[in-house]
């Protein structure tokens, strides 16, 4: 019932499009990363964990987590799936709505 929307609320179509975009981005991440890297990125982008906590969980440094995130963002920009590289861990959450 999009006609009963409150100002600033997303339409059903907008939500669907953003979820579709998120699925496409996750598919690319699965394609270019191994299982461990995918788990690290999932923890960062989807779960919203901070780099330090992720590093402790996987036995790697915060800097290695940052490098992995940067590599994936660059690949998404290269594939024109992102117009800009979002900062922080709200990147995919922003796409997913």
pLDDT tens sequence across 15-44: 666 666 777 778 888 888 999 999 998 888
**Crossing angle of helices 62-78 and 51-58, rounded to 10°:** 110
- Which phi and psi (to 5°) does residue 8 adopt? 90, -10
Residue 6 in domain: no
Model confidence at 78, in pLDDT bands (50, 70, 90)? confident
Other CB atoms within 10 Å distance of the CB of residue 27: 11
Residue 63 in domain: yes
Into how many domains does the chain fold? 1
Residue 81 in domain: yes
Residue 7 in domain: no
Residue 19 in domain: no
Residue 13 in domain: no
- As a whole number, the mean pLDDT across the chain is 76
Name the pTM for this structure: 0.64
């Amino acid at each position: 019932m999009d006609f009963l929307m409150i100002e600033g609320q997303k339409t059903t179509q907008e939500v669907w499009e953003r979820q579709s975009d998120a699925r496409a981005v996750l598919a690319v991440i699965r394609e270019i990363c191994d299982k461990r890297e995918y788990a690290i990125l999932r923890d960062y982008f989807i779960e919203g964990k901070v780099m330090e906590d992720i590093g402790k969980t996987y036995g790697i440094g915060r800097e290695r987590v940052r490098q992995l995130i940067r590599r994936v963002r660059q690949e998404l920009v290269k594939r024109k799936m992102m117009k800009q590289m979002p900062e922080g861990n709200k990147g995919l959450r922003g796409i997913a709505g």
